């Protein structure tokens, strides 16, 4: 009786440098966003005191209720915090070769292209830098050697 030996490879494709750069940048920027978000959320009560003191000192009449302004700032801080956490998870996923992270980054880049093109409606070319960067990210993350890094071993 003969037996057939199936040899499975345990070597994984080496992490491409571009993926490592995207992952590290994503993690660093997410940490900065998280820190900024927490600082904004924590500073809201102090901003209330500052705004009220400025109004009292200069005798200004607020156009909008201060509570609405502070609530808006707290919401911006909370949304930014969630975005920072999402990008941290995506950076971790890219670093570890998770295909779901690659796909989500591509989707976010497509959304970034759409958002970058919107200013062109008003003849503003400021969004073109974002468009170019997002196109490069999509192109890079769809290259065969990069996709191979994200494919699970069989």
pLDDT tens, position by position, 37-91: 999 999 998 888 888 888 888 877 777 788 888 899 999 999 999 999 999 999 9
Q: Please report whether residue 40 resides in a domain.
A: yes
Cβ count within 10 A of residue 66 = 13
Q: Please report whether residue 5 resides in a domain.
A: no
Q: Please report whether residue 152 resides in a domain.
A: yes
Structural domain boundaries enclosing 66: 16-96
Answer yes or no: do 31 and 89 share one domain. yes
Rounded to an integer, the average pLDDT of 118-123 is: 86
Confidence (pLDDT) at 11:
56
Answer yes or no: do 41 and 82 share one domain. yes
Tokens of 65: 């209720």
Answer yes or no: do 89 and 21 share one domain. yes
Answer yes or no: do 25 and 49 share one domain. yes
Cβ count within 10 A of residue 31 = 14
pTM of the model: 0.80
- Provide the number of structural domains found in the chain: 2
Confidence (pLDDT) at 120:
85
Distances (CA, A) of 78 to 51, 68, 103, 123: 21, 15, 25, 32
Answer yes or no: do 141 and 114 share one domain. yes
End-of-domain residue from the set 96, 120, 142: 96
Q: Which of 38-42, 74-78, 103-107, 119-123 has the lowest mean pLDDT?
A: 119-123
* pLDDT over 80 at 104, yes or no: yes
Answer yes or no: do 133 and 121 share one domain. yes
Q: Please report whether residue 9 resides in a domain.
A: no
Beta-carbon-side half-sphere exposure of residue 39 (alpha carbons within 13 Å): 6
């Amino acid at each position: 009786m003969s037996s057939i030996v199936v040899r499975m490879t345990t070597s994984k494709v080496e992490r491409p440098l571009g993926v490592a750069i995207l992952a590290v940048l994503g993690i660093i920027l997410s940490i900065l966003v998280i820190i900024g978000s927490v600082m904004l959320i924590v500073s809201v009560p102090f901003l209330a005191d500052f705004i009220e003191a400025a109004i009292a000192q200069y005798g200004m009449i607020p156009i909008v209720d201060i509570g609405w302004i502070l609530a808006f700032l707290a919401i911006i801080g909370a949304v930014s915090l969630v975005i920072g956490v999402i990008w941290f998870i995506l950076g971790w996923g890219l670093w570890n070769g998770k295909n779901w992270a690659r796909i989500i980054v591509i989707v976010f880049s497509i959304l970034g292209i759409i958002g970058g093109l919107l200013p062109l409606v008003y003849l503003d070319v400021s969004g073109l830098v974002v468009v170019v960067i997002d196109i490069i990210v999509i192109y890079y993350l769809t290259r065969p050697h990069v996709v191979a890094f994200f494919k699970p071993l069989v």
